[in-house]
Structure 1
Amino acid sequence: MIEDNFKFALIPTSEILTILPLLVELGSADISEATREARVLEMASQNYECVGLYDDEKLIGICGMWFMTRHYAGKSVEADHVIITAGYQGKGLGKKLMQWVYEYVQSKGCLWVELNTFVHNFPSHKFYYNEGFVSKGYHMVKEF
């Protein structure tokens, strides 16, 4: 199961670009490296934090967290780009990562966690339903 060499830690802003390989694995390979890097640096300057899951010193998982106050939810967090890298999936690490997120955001006064998942990503739907998430609506976008 989960050994002692796995640890969770907030990724300092000065090290935020270490998440780039996991973002590519998650599916942003169609975005240029320069654009992806610029966007992540801009994210880090906003109400954004990212927790890393490490196997010793190797980053093997991430969960971005966008903090905000919503009129319908109060202080909340949007979990974003949650991933456990291939080879580490199916070991209970995703559940442990989310448990860390729940405890951390509650300590910051958050009353609710929300997230988006792509409609075709059925394994993530099952995972989040098992975590107690419920569908409240549709995420819609309009690109320019």
Structure 2
Amino acid sequence: MAFEFKILEKENINLIIPLVYKLNDYKVSEAVLEQRFNEMIGQNYECAVIYDGDKLVGVCGLWYCTRHYSGRSVEPDHVFIDDAYRGQGLGKQFFEWIYNYVSGKGFEAMELNTYVSNYQSHKFYFNEGFKILGYHFIKKL
């Protein structure tokens, strides 16, 4: 199977909504996701995707910044691969593509958040060499 990894064109950002909707534990509505992604695409954000032919099967948002402790950094966000494509090494291939892509842009570190209850992702990220640095806190205003 030949997959295509690429950065999604900004005007096509709403194509990822159905996949990201499946990821959300707290179920933000698709309408709210659409509004937020249309705002995010104008910030320091890109969206990497996986296509199997014409079918969108994976997504990973990429946030770019410079942090005092890690330098030029990228944060993968809302990583999701369609259930039917899991367990085939596709996540590893996708992240290898992402590492090469962001390294080519001059970024030197990657850090991320994952849901506490998403045990499969914890195993994946440990296997990819990520280390736990701290806790992520949120307070709704």
TM-score normalised by L of structure 1: 0.94
Instruction: Select the residue among 55, 58, 74 that pairs with 1:58.
Output: 55
Equivalent of 1:20 in 17, 21, 24: 17
- Shift of residue 31 of structure 1? 1.6
Residue in structure 2 matching 1:87, options 84, 87, 96? 84
Matched, 1:107 2:104: yes
Aligned-residue offset at 1:34: 1.9
Secondary structure at the residue paired with 1:142?
A: coil
C-alpha contact 1:17 1:37 (8 A) present in aligned 2 = yes
CA positional deviation for 1:32: 2.2
Match of 1:133 among 96, 110, 130: 130
State the identity as a percent: 50
Whether contact under 8 Å (1:25, 1:85) holds in the other structure is no
Secondary structure of 1:127's counterpart equals helix
Match of 2:27 in 1: 30
Stretches of 4+ moved more than 4 A in 1? none
- Residue number in structure 2 paired with 1:39: 36
Where structure 1 has 5 or more consecutive residues not aligned to the other structure, the ranges are: none
Structure 2, unmatched stretches of 5+, are none
Deviation digits for residues 13-62 of structure 1, max 9, x if unmatched?
00010000001111267222221110000010100001110000110001
1:72 pairs, out of 57, 60, 69, with 69
State whether residues 50 and 57 of structure 2, in contact with CA within 8 Å, keep that contact through their aligned partners in structure 1. Answer: yes
**What does the per-residue CA deviation read over 1:107-141, in whole Å, with 9 as the maximum and x for residues that have no partner?**
01111000001111111100000000000000111
